[in-house]
Structure 1
Amino acid sequence: MSTQEGRIRQEAGTVTENDLRIDTDRSEQIIDALNTDLANAYVLYHQLKKHHWDAEGAEFRDLHLFLEEAYETVERGADEIAERAQALGGVPVAGPTTQAERATVSFEGEDVYDLRLSLANDLEMYGDIIESLRDHIELADNLGDYATGELLRDILVEVEEDAHHIEHYLEDDTLVLDEATH
């Protein structure tokens, strides 16, 4: 493991003044919320990526493509969240260990589950993230940071849309016939 030498510009977990004219006390609260959203996004990203790799069966192609789009959407949102935290004077949580510790959602583990259970696990995580985003939108708005609220609203729309698509995949209607119905 390499050790880095040089001048630290800002320690993780600290907040400096910003040029957005949001005072440090309010920024600290918002950055804390954003870092939770960022950590949650990367836990979801890795789980979706895992399911993208593990997808198989009759719906493989559609699910493989959907999951790829979904984790790319999550990653774009995470990037926007991290950049906003930095603009507010914070340090985005960047390391995988810190993100896992910081997240309020949990990765399902390394085992490979059947596709229906995998998607159900994803949908559960999406639901938790949706609730967290809504809370953080309200927090940002209450603290007068309407730009962060708007950014999170845009991300929320995409997260809800992908969750809704997963709901469709989990419906019991399918064109695939099982052997018992023949």
Structure 2
Amino acid sequence: MAKTKTKTKPATPSAQTRRMAPLNTPTDLAAKATPQLAGSLNALLADFFALYLKTKNFHWHMSGPHFRDYHLMLDEQADQIYAVTDDLAERVRKIGGTTLRSIGHIAKLQRVLDNDADFVAPKDMLAELRNDNRDMVERMREAHALTDELNDVVTTSLLENWIDDAERRAWFLFEATRDTV
């Protein structure tokens, strides 16, 4: 009697094995560049999420005679800040890194301080956000220097636009807090 050959089905990897599998996103950047860039960009991403929520917090809790103007300005600024998050996270993935996975991960990396006060005066809200946006400019400039050094021209270009946006937000917040002469 002749033996019949049976095809064996390849073993399906377990869920645990799949969770541990590397993403292996192709990139032409140097191997050492990905961890450095991903680390820097993920810290920025955490800051953007923290600044977004802080801006929305102050938007929701605005009061006083300039309520409408400040409320609308903060809503517009929050939308602009939030719009960066997807592009930034996707950039981390495009260069072969992994990105934020949870609120807890954001909390570990964020450098923007939370403000959980029950009441903050409107001008204090605007001044705090002005300073936070200035700090974001400084952090983005640091990331820009790294991306330039590692020849990540795309991220360098994105950062230049985001720096300009943050400078504009800081400028508007500065003007809104200035006393008229």
The TM-score bracket by the shorter chain reads 0.7 to 0.9
* Matching residue of 2:156: 149
Q: Is structure 2 residue 171 aligned with structure 1 residue 164?
A: yes
| Aligned AA (2:34) | S
Q: Is structure 2 residue 127 aligned with structure 1 residue 120?
A: yes
Give me the whole-angstrom Cα distance separating, in 2, the residues matched to 1:68 and 1:9. 41
> Which among 29, 33, 47 is matched to residue 22 of structure 1?
29
Give me the whole-angstrom Cα distance separating, in 2, the residues matched to 1:10 and 1:137. 32
> Is residue 48–residue 85 contact of structure 2 (8 Å, CA) maintained in 1?
yes
> Is residue 15–residue 89 contact of structure 1 (8 Å, CA) maintained in 2?
no
* Matching residue of 1:96: 103
Give me the whole-angstrom Cα distance separating, in 2, the residues matched to 1:25 and 1:17. 14
Report the TM-score, using the length of structure 2 for normalisation. Answer: 0.85
1:98 and 1:71, CA in 2 relative to 1: closer, same or farther beyond 3 A? same
> Which among 31, 43, 60 is matched to residue 67 of structure 2?
60
Which stretches of structure 1, 4 residues or more, deviate above 4 A after TM superposition?
7-11, 14-17
Provide Cα deviations, 1:35-88, integer angstroms capped at 9, x if missing partner.
Answer: 010000011001000011011222111111110110110011111110100111
Q: Percent identity?
A: 26
Gaps of 5+ in 2: 1-13
Q: CA RMSD in A?
A: 2.1
> Which among 115, 122, 126 is matched to residue 108 of structure 1?
115
* Matching residue of 2:89: 82
Instruction: Report how many aligned residue pairs link the two structures.
Output: 168
Give me the whole-angstrom Cα distance separating, in 1, the residues matched to 2:173 and 2:17. 43
Report the TM-score, using the length of structure 1 for normalisation. Answer: 0.85
Offset at 1:102?
A: 0.4
